[in-house]
Structure 1
Amino acid sequence: MLKIAKVLVVTFLLSVTLAGCIFAPYHKTAYYDLSVEPVRLAAAANVKVSEFDNESGAGSKIRIRINKYRIVDAGYSKWIQTPGELLMRSLNKAFAVNYTTDAPACEIYGTLDTFEVKLDKMQFAISGFYTIRRGKSRLDRQFDISVGLKEKSPVEYARAASAAVNQLGKELAVEINKILKK
């Protein structure tokens, strides 16, 4: 009888002790978006940005490169869309100020190779390739943009990512303006 009582007491104590490990505290997931500025072109144009192919390996979780070999997710911090979708929506929004139905479409599409926080360099980096097509004109370019981080926080990562996408929008505008002159 004493042996059974000891087993019951030990079982009870173990179950109470381990119950805290089973039920981790709830963490609310925070979602982040990019903030873009309008990008004006030299002439009115119908710019259509397609979703960039996401070859970066990043999904909707904010991706953090700790060093050359180690990558982690930012826990309960996510983008509202995948990186390729974020780029498409943000750039379409940035170029919407130039919209006209009278001009032939300028199509932009590409591949995203990097979309991550580089903590070892305190930067947010995006890189990849894009193609701009308008009629028979076609332009292919590579981009590699890094923006410095002021602190380690998801809000700062979103600010730096927005700055990088704004910079890409300005780079695209320069190339689109060259095509519009042809």
Structure 2
Amino acid sequence: MNTILRLTHASSRSLHLFSKTVPSVGRMVQVFIYGTLKKGQPNYHHMINGVHGTSKFQGRGLTVEKYPLVIAGKYNIPYLLNNPGKGHRVTGEMYFVDDQMLQFLDEFEGCPNMYQRTPVRVEVVEWESKSSMTEGSSVINNILECYVYSTTTYQPEWMHLPYYDNYDSFGNHKLSYVLRESRE
């Protein structure tokens, strides 16, 4: 058996750790994906490419708190601004990932310089399967804690961009994400 340490909010100013024992499949942590790594989006292939490690789709969720989700920069990158209470509750996907995938995601997301990996409370909207709820997830009132890649460092004008509740690179906003391979 392995133990997963998860961060939970005991109050808005302090974090406490608790552990959850799960079957021995290597260390797995839960992440909440809201942007180009979601199913059907330009970078989803990274989530299912075994070369980067293991990820297991758990279901869909919605942030408990509101956040500004904006599309910014010349490459139309989705950013979740770590400014809770503003914006919308953001829709995304929950995954269990192993250490190798977590390291890849940190590098892919430019963590800790461009994004920071922080805990966020997510309301479970839909589970992939009934077993997903018991595979290492500690769900209380349909709420669980996941890591999310958000940013505290952003241009002040980004707070005045349109806020989205669900990112789609191919959406009506006409701000298609520019793949890294296509950038100058």
What interval of TM-score do these two structures reach, taking the shorter chain for normalisation?
A: under 0.3
Higher strand share: 2
TM-score normalised to the size of structure 1? Answer: 0.25
Higher helix share: 1
TM-score normalised to the size of structure 2? Answer: 0.25
